Copies of this chain bind each other. A is one copy, B any other.
Amino acid sequence: MKSRSFGIAGSAVAHPRRSVSSREVDERLGMPHGHVEATFGIRRRQWADPQETSSAMAAAAAAQALAEADWSADTLDVIVGACGVMEQPIPGTAPLVQRRLGLGGSGIRAYDVNATCLSFLVALEHVLDGFALGRWQRALVFTADIASAALDFRDHEASVIFGDGASAFALAADGAHRCRALRIETYADGADLCRLEAGGTRLRPHEDIDGFLAASRFRMNGPGVFRAAGRRLPRFLQTLLGEARTAPHELATIVPHQASAPALEHLKRMLPDGHARTIDIFAEHGNQIATSLPHALHVARTRGRLRTGEQALMVGTSAGISLGGAVFQW
């Protein structure tokens, strides 16, 4: 498949007002000061209050991205939501963001995609396809997740590392960037390793409220995910770089999903000069589910790390279990 071209006209992130230090989390857990930071490599994260919704955060990020692009919102051709978990089941989060942007009467198509932490890559694939086929010129992709709504603090590893946040990218068909390859692999034999079971068609709160509540906290087998994803990552990267006709040393910047401190360390060690090349915002924001990957891309962009002619790798894992990545030339 040929590479697809595009431009990033604007990007932004938005977070809840409340920043929670790991010292505060230590107290909540009844652990000695310094425990959470020393154990999990995270200093702070942002947690939403109930009135700070996914669509509100996403709309705030989108407004900033559109302002940078200098696009009137009504010139968008498509709005794609890429949240790990939607704000509510019906309707999707993309229509809710469309309305918050004042586009409720616009007719601009708005819908969602979902691959948990890799949702941004799926949205990007869909938008780049539309650019390549001439279907649209301007797209808004957003992510938003509020992990803090479903954490179980009895399981430290599956709770303290998560943060809330949103991102938005204003993407243009007309641009000098190229996506040389984009790849997703799913291994659902690991589907139970990360799960949030309550909130869909299977568990019915009116019929079994206790079972529903018990299943309404996020469950993660961290070592299991690390093994399932880690053992497949070398071959995955080899295939992706082969499709992109590039090599590890050509990748000037690595933009990873911010899964955990050990996962980031593992990735940095796999790639040449990995520690210097990798965007690592985990200590300040934690794992923001679907927002981590685009947030890291936004940081790479604003820090001048996406230089013309150079290549960058986006890569991550998600519940599913899926591995995903893309190689861009800027």
A→B interface (CB under 8 Å): 1-2, 4, 50, 53-54, 79, 83-96, 98-99, 103-116, 118-119, 122, 125-126, 129-130, 132-135, 144-146, 149-150, 184-191, 194-207, 209, 212-213, 216, 218, 232, 318-322
Q: Which residue of A91, A109, A114, A187 has the most chain B CB atoms within 10 A of its CB atom?
A: A91
Query: B202 near A205 (CB under 8 angstroms)?
Result: no
Can you name 11 extra interface pairs (CB under 8 A) apart from A103-B188, A205-B205, A205-B212?
Answer: A1-B134, A1-B135, A86-B200, A88-B197, A89-B198, A90-B218, A91-B188, A92-B115, A93-B200, A95-B322, A106-B187
| This chain's copy number in the assembly | 2
Decide yes or no: A187 and B129 within 8 Å by CB, A89-B200, A95-B322 being known contacts.
no
Tell me the bound Cα distance from A186 to B92 in angstroms: 11
Decide yes or no: A133 and B129 within 8 Å by CB, A111-B115, A116-B91, A199-B88 being known contacts.
yes
Counting from the closest, the 5 A-B pairs by CB-CB distance are A104-B189, A199-B199, A129-B129, A99-B188, A111-B115
The contact of A186 among B107, B135, B188, B189, by CB within 8 Å, is B107
Query: B146 near A201 (CB under 8 angstroms)?
Result: yes
Query: B85 near A188 (CB under 8 angstroms)?
Result: no
Decide yes or no: A114 and B99 within 8 Å by CB, A92-B320, A186-B109, A205-B205 being known contacts.
no
Query: B90 near A319 (CB under 8 angstroms)?
Result: yes
What are 24 sample pairs from A and B whose C-beta atoms fall under 8 A apart? A84-B90, A86-B89, A88-B198, A88-B202, A88-B203, A89-B196, A90-B195, A90-B319, A91-B319, A92-B115, A92-B116, A95-B188, A95-B321, A98-B186, A99-B191, A106-B187, A108-B186, A113-B113, A126-B126, A129-B129, A132-B133, A145-B201, A150-B204, A205-B216
Provide the residues of chain B in CB contact with A130, threshold 8 Å: 129
Chain B residue with Cβ nearest A92: B114
Query: A213 near B209 (CB under 8 angstroms)?
Result: yes
Taking the closest CB of chain B, its distance from the CB of A218, in whole angstroms, is 7
Tell me the bound Cα distance from A232 to B86 in angstroms: 27
Provide the residues of chain B in CB contact with A205, threshold 8 Å: 198, 205, 212-213, 216
Tell me the bound Cα distance from A91 to B84 in angstroms: 9
